[in-house]
Amino acid sequence: MIIQDEMIITSQQEIAHNIFEMKLQGKLVEEITAPGQFVHIRVGDAFDMLLRRPISVAEINPEEKEITIIYRAEGDGTKRLSEKQAGDLVDVLGPLGNGFPVEETNKGETAYLIGGGIGVPPLYELSKQLTAKGVSCVHVLGFQSEDVVFYEEGFNALGDTYIVTVDGTKGTTGFVTSVMEKLNDDFATFYSCGPMPMLKAVQEIYEGKKGFLSFEQRMGCGVGACFACVCETTDQIEASYIKVCSDGPVFPAGVVAL
């Protein structure tokens, strides 16, 4: 169920250049059902920055009723969020969206997790849950440059991890596809989150394979009422438009027109 929760910030730190990791505690955590769901956050009480900011959940800790979010402080809203400190309260709406289907990969099978930039965070919880059920995870993570790479160690601990940077300052030079081309396609499922051109490339390379893509779109309400964050669909499904916030953000590969 979607609830509105005054969550308390238990920690906030800059983990890479302009990339912040925030931990939030509250009863909303009990409602989360899948990795890849997101929360909709008010950056302050004032109305000057009116709309909530959708941010994906990077890690879930049910025992502590705590979630981790990772976001880039790029616009005025996320900058204001980055100024908050441990102990501050934040108005959070969630959990929203459907999330990645962990059940689509069986124990003993291999899953490829492909992320780009600020699309990487939800793959962390996904990898934790897949790994916990006995799935082998291979991570291909693309970033602009070394100074914005995060969670490399965490992903390494879960499975093979390939880092790619556009400027070549870390790992392979280029895009995630530069690594994907060299990997075999002996895997059961792929899961991906990142910018639209990346999702398009991933879907093309793995055409015919079972995969799930998580999309981003400018949002209004976050709950499906305002029809702002729609995506055009392919003829694989009947509906001609789907809503990223409430029908997604995760869709099976091939459903969204890319």
Partner 1 sequence: MNRLSVELPGLQLRNPIMPASGCFGFGKEYGGMYDLSLLGAIMIKATTLETRLGNPTPRVAETPSGMLNAIGLQNPGLKGVMENELPWLEQFDVPIIANVAGSEPADYVEVAKTISTAPNVKALELNISCPNVKEGGIAFGTDPLVAEELTSAVKEVSQVPVYVKLSPNVTDIKEVALAVERGGADGITMINTLLGMRLDEKTGKPIIANVTGGLSGPAVKPVALKMVYEVSQVVDIPIIGMGGIMNAQDVIDFMSAGASAVAVGTANFVDPFICPKIIEELPAKLDELNIEYISELVGRSYK
Contact between 163 and partner 1 by CB under 8 A: the answer reads: no
What single-letter DSSP state applies at residue 77? H
Mask 30-69, x = binds partner 1 (CB under 8 A)?
Answer: ------------x----xxxxxx-----------------
Of 14, 13, 16, 12, which is closest to residue 170 (Cα–Cα)?
Answer: 16
**86 versus 226: smaller Cβ distance to partner 1:** 226
Amino acid of residue 7: M
Binding mask 227-246 for partner 1 (x = CB under 8 A): xxxxx--------xx----x
Q: What distances in angstroms separate CA 139 from CA 39, 72, 120, 228, 230, one per listed residue?
A: 24, 21, 10, 32, 28
- Nearest-approach distance from CB 244 to partner 1, in angstroms: 9
Gyration radius from the chain CA atoms: 17
Least Å from the CB of residue 61 to partner 1: 25
Q: How many residues bind partner 1 (CB under 8 A)?
A: 31
CA distance 171 to 62: 34
Contact between 258 and partner 1 by CB under 8 A: the answer reads: no
Question: 77-116 mask for partner 1 (x: CB under 8 A)?
Answer: x-------------x-x-----------------------
* Whole-number Å distance between alpha carbons of 241 and 232: 5
Question: What's at 87, amino acid-wise?
Answer: G
- d(Cα 105, Cα 190) in Å, to the nearest integer? 9
In the complex, the smallest distance separating the C-beta of residue 90 from partner 1, rounded to whole angstroms, is: 14
CB-based contact 92:5 (threshold 8 Å): yes
**135 vs 256, beta carbon nearer partner 1:** 256
Q: Which lies closer to partner 1 via its Cβ, residue 182 or residue 218? A: 218
Which parts of this chain interact with partner 1 (CB under 8 A)? Answer: 1-2, 4, 42, 47-52, 77, 91, 93, 217-231, 240-241, 246
